[in-house]
Amino acid sequence: MPQVIATSVYRFDELPEAAKSEARSWYREGGFDYAWYDAVYEDFQHIAEILGIHLKTRTTRLVGGRTRENPCIWFSGFWSQSDGAAWEGVYSYRKSAAAELRAYAPKDKTLHRIAESLQAAQRQNFYQLRAEVTHRGNYYHAFTMAVSASRDSAAAVKIVGDAESIVTDVLRDLANWLYRQLKQEYDYLTSDEAVNETLIANGFTFTDEGRRFG
């Protein structure tokens, strides 16, 4: 004959501390099956637009046969020295980019430096610099980005000074900045405080040992 076995379950805030630690581990290991980085990506896309970067896109197939264009942004992390972020796009001069970026992110000195360095390189080359950024290889970090710079001019004009290396370094710095923002967001979302709030808000239940039930 079938038997009915009763199991006592608890909400997260009802668990003892040791069981809470087990419950947090369950969430950290399997709770990130969603696009938690979307807000960081959106912020990066807006910053890229301000700087004069047109991000390339790739087609993603959705359920039901529909498709969506996603920006060419990638990252891996956050535990290996080879982890990082990379992107693909085309950079060209955009008037007032440095001023707009200061207004958008007034406290971010790294972004200010990036905008000002690009502006200086453009000024040196009569605002004709253009750079195409492509990703290469199977890893994602700043040095997997190949940067090809040229002057957008009717005449075959060479790039003045060290502007090409400056633009290359700065666009890679932007990828490093993105990676730091992603890590900061991930660290916050996996912190004890944030995980506690998520487990309580979603009403998850656990055994007295902190194992997920249901």
Q: Would you mind telling me the total number of residues written for the chain in this entry?
A: 214
The one-letter amino acid at 146: A
Taking each helix axis from N to C end, the angle separating 163-189 and 192-201, rounded to the nearest 10 degrees, works out to 50
pLDDT at 156 over 80: no
How far apart CA 177 and CA 154 sit, in angstroms, is 34
Taking the CA atoms of 175, 86, 178 and 93 in sequence, report the sign of the dihedral they define. Answer: positive
pLDDT of residue 4: 79
Give the CA-trace dihedral at 65, 66, 69, 72, to 10 degrees.
-30
- The domains of the chain are located at 36-191
pLDDT of residue 99: 97
Tokens of 20: 């809470």
Confidence of residue 188 (pLDDT cuts 50, 70, 90): very high
Q: pLDDT tens digits, residue range 199-214?
A: 999 999 999 999 998 7
Q: pLDDT tens digits, residue range 98-134?
A: 999 999 999 999 999 999 999 999 999 999 999 999 9
The predicted model scores a pTM of 0.91
